[in-house]
Structure 1
Amino acid sequence: MDGQGLQKIAGDYAVKLPGAELEHRSGPDWRLDKVRGKVFMLMTDLPGHPVVILKADPDDAAALREQYTDITPGYHMNKTHWITLEGGGAIDEKLVKELVIDSYRLVIGGLPKSQQPVDPHTYGRHA
């Protein structure tokens, strides 16, 4: 899938998550997806290629970077806790959605329980 397809899938999925809010910033053009004011996904265009930036558990992030050449440390973010996805051959729609929801769960897991729109430990997990 190319970078634009990657951004479309991630963006369409993110806006459906409970409590998700969308913010656009210009110069450079950034899209921020937030829950309760906390960013869980960013999108922008690096020279020549659109990217999606997501929060990830540090151990998962390291494993993903080893497994996929199209997943790199988070652009303009903490390199341990964030990953950048680029369009490429190995990343498919299922993986994109899994990584978006993982990022969302990590962010809501850091919120006070009273502000969590869903339970981060069970939301989106299939039995």
Structure 2
Amino acid sequence: MDIESLRDYCLSKPAVEETLPFGPDTLVYKVGGKVFLICPMESETFRFNVKCDPERAIELRERYACVQPGYHMNKKHWNTIYVDGSVSNTMLKEWINDSYDLIVASLPAKTRDQVKGQQ
């Protein structure tokens, strides 16, 4: 996966918006106005942050070296994924999906229903 395929994948999900609230070098993907993925464009190693269930976050960090506590994020709920080729694109997409689904589930019912209506 590279930054273009990450971008395309995120934007293919229902009701996703791409924003640059931290300046031109950090892509932020939101659903229902809430962040589910952050990707710095100017880092040495391609990486992105995704939200994760706290217990699963620990499990993934223990199992995969490319999964680290969320860089500049709440480390209980966010993981930083270093895209180094050690896990498949399918796995990366699964972690993106999990983050997206966690955020959708946390939205107010009316907003959540609107998002689900776009699927």
Q: TM-score, normalised by structure 2?
A: 0.87
**Shift, 1:89, TM fit:** 3.1
Q: 1:71 aligns to what?
A: 67
**1:48 has 2:13 as partner:** no
Q: 2:16 aligns to what?
A: 20
Higher fraction of helix: 2
* Identity rate, percent: 34
The residue identity in structure 2 corresponding to 1:11 is R
Q: TM-score, normalised by structure 1?
A: 0.82
Count of aligned residue pairs for this structure pair: 116
Q: Which runs of 5+ in 2 are unaligned?
A: none
Query: 1:75-121, CA deviations, whole angstroms, 9 ceiling, x for partnerless residues?
Result: 110001000011223221101110111000101111111101128xx
**C-alpha separation in 2, matches of 1:20 and 1:55:** 15
List aligned pairs for 1:77-96, cutoff 5 A.
77-96=73-92
Tell me, what secondary structure is at the counterpart of 2:103? helix
**C-alpha separation in 2, matches of 1:90 and 1:32:** 24
Q: 1:118 aligns to what?
A: 116
Q: 1:97 aligns to what?
A: 93
Q: Which runs of 5+ in 1 are unaligned?
A: none
Question: Out of 6, 29, 45, which is 1:33 matched to?
Answer: 29
Q: Alignment RMSD, CA only?
A: 2.0
